[in-house]
Structure 1
Amino acid sequence: MSYIQQGTPLFRKTSFAFFAAGFNTFAILYCVQPLMPEFSKEFSINPTTASLSLSITTMVLAISMLIFGSLSEVWGRKPIMVSSMLAASVFCILTAFSPNFHFLLVFRTIEGISLAGLPSIAMAYLGEEIESKSLGTAMGLYICGNSIGAVFGRVFSGMLSDYFGWHIAIGGIGIISLAATLIFWKCLPPSRNFKARQLKIGKLGKSLIDHLKDPVLICLFVMGFLLLGSNVALFNYIAYALLERPYSLSQTFVSWIFLIMIIGMFSSVWTGKLVDRHGKQKILFISLLITLTGVCLTLDTHLFIKILGLGLFTFGFFGGHSIASSWVGQRALQNKAQASSLYLFLYYTGSSVGGTLGGVFWSTYGWGGVISMNVGFLMIGFMLWACVSKIVLNSKKVTKVVEFD
């Protein structure tokens, strides 16, 4: 088999294509996050209901990825990913014309289904086409595109809504996403190591169960759930907290705070390189520790300390996610797209659950309630890390004994 190696023109072209893909996916997905206070005002709904504009999208995205991941084993990687990006961009533009919140939720639901074709397949494509030594860097660059798209979608839509309203903000994101789709289509090389299979529901179901028999994969799946759940809860309600007293910041200023997400661009790439040197277990623990420290710092009422905490949380979150997601791709020996889809299913389900559950904690206990929920999520994350470390250590001991014999 011929693999794409780091440093070659094909590696740079592939990385740029997936950077654009990650940008497109997350810009569309998260452009509504800073607009939630606007939805609350215009449609007279509470913060928990407004959070459905994001939660419902991530939930159907999570479910749909299980289907697209399996279909890609039959139909191929690139065609589904390109079609997914194009459809999501078109429906994003249509969302801008929503006359009420119910229509907005319908369009956001369709967007979630459309978006599923990209993230459910991306990690499998990279795992098949990129050499193992370069996979950490390639995955880091893809997640880097995710972070840039998440930043741009939030800041751009928040600023435009402050001056022109949320309709123009969402429409602008859709037009830019069309351009990102064109870049992806032109730059991504066709699969060279993909082998199509016949669509056999029974075998796909069996392989799905096989993945769930691996305790390491289960721990990584749940860790993805906890990481994104805590992230979305934190950033969903930080806007409400900063728009209220004692801060009383403007919508534009709050939108600029989402620029802190750009830290993920450096974190994911830097973490990928550290993993290649020091191993996944050690760097994952450090990432979780940084994430927890950041969460706790946001309890401080001083604005600078609160923003510093958001920065540390973001750094640790993107590092942890890049490690866990690439670990899934390497751990699954067969049906990698399906394993990736399972990880992302739990990952985006965490977004829906954490985002909406965070609204309950916010309404009942305020910002301290949101942080308490996040700390609980991350403590479970440490327990999962300990389980994975123990299993991996035991498997290495067994391997050494076998080699010795």
Structure 2
Amino acid sequence: MTSSASDTAPATTPMWTRRGTAAYRRISVALFLAGFATFSLLYGVQPLLPAIAQAFGVSPAESSLALSLSTGMLAFAILGAGAVSSAVARRPLMGASMCAAAVLNIVAALVPDWHALLVARAVAGFVLGGVPAVAMAYLAEEIEPPGLGLAMGLYVGGTAFGGMMGRIGISVLTEFMGWRAALICLGVIGLAAAAGFAALLPASRNFVPRRGQAWSDHVGHWAAHLRQPGLPRLFAIAGLLMGAFVTVYNYIGFRLVLPPYDLNQTQIGLIFTAYVFGIVSSAVAGALADRFGRWPVMVSGMVCMGAGLMLTCVTPLGGVVAGIVGLTFGFFVAHAVASGWVGRLAVGSKGHASSLYLLSYYLGSSVMGSVGGWFWGHGGWWPVAGFTLVLVGLALWSAWGLRRVDVARQPGATMGA
């Protein structure tokens, strides 16, 4: 595969990119950068919520809107991006989305008004819709099925790395420069990641554009995926697990600034080094799923999340940190497997299937992340932990119905825009 190949060249017989080739490595690095930029720009404000609440005089639940509006807008933008991506080349759409989101992150840092900041964050979330669904579809279309799990795991690892570096870096910078300067630095880094992505990603070889489709056609594709065995359960799992994960990360900072911990901004930021375990677990989970099967690996991740959530309820700081590590490790195992499973299970219109998965994923982040603020305000950490354990339990119940879903299909049988 070369970068000069046409993004819109028809492909009746898939021209797969095989694991171990130079093209495979370029795709993996480029999509790692896409995941990094998306999550660092999206979630970089998360450790700043206590500082933002203080700066603008808003409550913890209100401050979470700086994140929830972004993820909520992203959730719905993904549907539109999935539809647009059926007619527009994959690489330019993702690159433009990354650049626009980085610029809007800088705008959010410069505006003086709370509501203006929320608008900038909401629009940034909207434009980021051009990355996640398209990235998943690109991988499912271009990577040979035996290597898809690892490639998807590396992409998810990029999201974990972006989430970690965005949170840690912005926490440290805020301690020395203030949160506004920290957000500007994050936007500049996002622009650099977009440039690297554009330089590395090979053009699609298996993407067939479908221009002039009516919205009724797109609705038909989404409806078909919702009727497909197994896919609705994967969509539900995405929303439930992401809701639990983001709720913990949204409000753990509010807990740790209080006695008996009394941590400062930098110390709270260092808690997010737990994302290292997400980077490792997502790549390992993809490879293990390719070898041993998706269901047992995904369920193991959910069980690990539940154990981590229970550990966060202990008083010693070491136990709380261990709980966050377990939650993070388990979440990225489950998410890496589930996201790759969508690409294998979907019959045709992979971009539409990916958009439905990510719609649920980011709606879970937006809605559950804000609802968690109510539990925090009405009882502290124990109600928050109980709420998130219920979400993980519901995800396990949804996963039970997937244990017999047959995803063994002929190579190329699921190709489509």
Q: TM-score, normalised by structure 2?
A: 0.93
How far residue 40 of structure 1 moved from its aligned partner, in angstroms, is: 1.0
Matched residue, 1:254: 268
Q: Which residues of 2 match residues 232-271 of structure 1 at below 5 A?
A: 232-271=246-285
1:98 matches 2:111: yes
Matched residue, 1:4: 17
Q: Which residues of 2 match residues 218-229 of structure 1 at below 5 A?
A: 218-229=232-243
How far residue 92 of structure 1 moved from its aligned partner, in angstroms, is: 1.1
The whole-number CA distance in structure 2 between the counterparts of 1:276 and 1:212 is 24
Higher helix share: 1
**Residue from 170, 175, 192 that aligns with 2:183:** 170
How far residue 215 of structure 1 moved from its aligned partner, in angstroms, is: 4.1
1:368 matches 2:382: yes
**Residue from 39, 56, 62 that aligns with 1:26:** 39
The whole-number CA distance in structure 2 between the counterparts of 1:40 and 1:81 is 32
**Residue from 302, 306, 326 that aligns with 2:320:** 306
Any idea what SS the aligned residue of 1:4 has?
coil
Give 1:197's aligned amino acid: R
Deviation track 1:140-176 (CA, whole Å, cap 9, x = no partner) reads 1101110000001101111111221111010000001
1:141 matches 2:154: yes
The whole-number CA distance in structure 2 between the counterparts of 1:123 and 1:36 is 30
The whole-number CA distance in structure 2 between the counterparts of 1:196 and 1:277 is 33
1:86 matches 2:94: no
Matched residue, 2:48: 35
The whole-number CA distance in structure 2 between the counterparts of 1:328 and 1:4 is 19
Structure 2: give runs of 5+ residues left out of the alignment: 1-13, 409-417
Q: TM-score, normalised by structure 1?
A: 0.96
Structure 1: give runs of 5+ residues left out of the alignment: 397-405
1:327 matches 2:341: yes
Give 2:137's aligned amino acid: A
The whole-number CA distance in structure 2 between the counterparts of 1:256 and 1:167 is 19
The whole-number CA distance in structure 2 between the counterparts of 1:9 and 1:256 is 35
Matched residue, 2:4: none
How far residue 337 of structure 1 moved from its aligned partner, in angstroms, is: 0.5
Output the aligned Cα RMSD.
1.1
Deviation track 1:93-133 (CA, whole Å, cap 9, x = no partner) reads 11110202111101001101111100020000000000000
Deviation track 1:6-58 (CA, whole Å, cap 9, x = no partner) reads 11111111111011111100010011001000111111110000000000000
The whole-number CA distance in structure 2 between the counterparts of 1:270 and 1:229 is 23
The whole-number CA distance in structure 1 between the counterparts of 2:70 and 2:395 is 24
Any idea what SS the aligned residue of 2:165 has?
helix
The whole-number CA distance in structure 2 between the counterparts of 1:183 and 1:330 is 28
Matched residue, 1:55: 68
Matched residue, 1:200: 214
**Residue from 125, 129, 142 that aligns with 2:142:** 129
How far residue 200 of structure 1 moved from its aligned partner, in angstroms, is: 2.3
Matched residue, 2:125: 112
The whole-number CA distance in structure 2 between the counterparts of 1:155 and 1:374 is 23
Matched residue, 1:345: 359
The whole-number CA distance in structure 2 between the counterparts of 1:82 and 1:159 is 28
The whole-number CA distance in structure 2 between the counterparts of 1:342 and 1:365 is 34
Give 1:249's aligned amino acid: L
Give 2:135's aligned amino acid: A
Give 1:144's aligned amino acid: G
1:213 matches 2:224: no
Give 2:227's aligned amino acid: K
How far residue 230 of structure 1 moved from its aligned partner, in angstroms, is: 0.4
Q: Which residues of 2 match residues 147-162 of structure 1 at below 5 A?
A: 147-162=160-175
Matched residue, 1:17: 30
Deviation track 1:291-332 (CA, whole Å, cap 9, x = no partner) reads 111111111101101100110110000000011111111111
How far residue 237 of structure 1 moved from its aligned partner, in angstroms, is: 0.6
The whole-number CA distance in structure 2 between the counterparts of 1:14 and 1:283 is 25
Any idea what SS the aligned residue of 1:365 has?
coil
The whole-number CA distance in structure 1 between the counterparts of 2:402 and 2:287 is 21
Any idea what SS the aligned residue of 1:154 has?
helix
Any idea what SS the aligned residue of 2:207 has?
coil
Q: Which moved more, 1:93-102 or 1:24-33?
A: 93-102
Give 1:331's aligned amino acid: L
How far residue 214 of structure 1 moved from its aligned partner, in angstroms, is: 2.0
Any idea what SS the aligned residue of 1:189 has?
coil
Deviation track 1:314-362 (CA, whole Å, cap 9, x = no partner) reads 0000000011111111111110011000000000000011110110000
